[in-house]
A and B are shown apart, each in its own frame.
Chain A
Amino acid sequence: MRGNLRRLTELSLLTAAALIIFIIELQIPSPFVIPGIKLGLSNIITVYAVYRYRAFEAFSVLIVRILLGSIFSGNLTALIYSLTGGLLCFLGMLVFKRFIDERHLWISSVFGAVLHNTGQIAAALLLLQTPQILMYYPFLLLAGCLSGAFTGLCAQIIVNRIDIRKSDS
């Protein structure tokens, strides 16, 4: 029970941190006109949670962050894109986690970001029924690789600094 409480607290802290990063990032004006292209800094927390916590725990951090984030930002229409992207990314990362170890976690972050953007495009295709949306895909692919590498490297730094054995005691 004590372990549970400790984990719950850690997960809540992670979720809160992800939300704060998400809200702050919203305030930074994006130089790109294409919706969906941004750094996605809050995914640093997602990547970290995927690698350091059980699947279900990381999943709750992600879902709570997406739901509360879209409520706080007042942009509920973006929710469906965030959800499809986030879920696809999450499932992909669970798979990559099996054969990419912690010291190379930025690689799985890149793949995760690419999957995230793929999910968003798929959702947009289904919703808008305009195949021309696919023209966005190269941009999203490029942006996903770059931002995925960046957030992945940030998560890498965090993982290197926080020793799992200490926090598990």
Chain B
Amino acid sequence: MKYKILIIICVILTVLGAVGSILVLNSPPKTEVNIISDGKVIRSLDLSAQEDVEFTVTYKGKSNVVEVRDGKIRVKEADCPDKTCVKTGWLSSSAMPIVCLPNRLVIEFNDNESEVDAVAW
């Protein structure tokens, strides 16, 4: 009996995870993007109005090359060991920010567009 309850809890956790994943994946794409280095927003861009560009973000001597093309953004090159950020590819949903843990870099859609101090650069 005790084990039945525990197994049911396991199943509930799994279902919660699955439902949550689906919800997060289906959240609508946004165009405001924040580039966050070491917890601070260093740059905000509006992808729909942004021209194609490439720039480098450095943190403690480590660098990631960020590319914006056709209204999409990605990390093109990185000198971190695992290259997870590069493999993530183009930023497609707010569920999947581009994260480079070794270089403390996060590129994500801005969830709260009204809060943005639109940084033109």
Contact = CB atoms under 8 A, between A and B. Distances in A.
A and B are interacting partners? yes
Interface of A: 33-35, 74-75, 77-78, 81, 99-100, 104, 107, 110-111, 114, 124, 127-130, 132-133, 135-146, 149
A137 B82 CA distance: 21
A145 B6 CA distance: 13
A99 B17 contact: no
Contacts of A136: 95
Nearest to B104: A128
A33 B13 contact: no
A130 B99 CA distance: 11
Given A34-B96, A104-B6, A144-B17, A132 B81 contact: no
Interface residues of B, number: 34
B87 A145 contact: no
- The main secondary structure of chain A at its interface with chain B is helix
A129 B101 CA distance: 12
B17 A132 contact: no
B82 A107 contact: no
A149 B10 CA distance: 9
Interface in B69-121: 81-82, 84, 87-89, 94-97, 99, 101-102, 104, 106, 108, 111
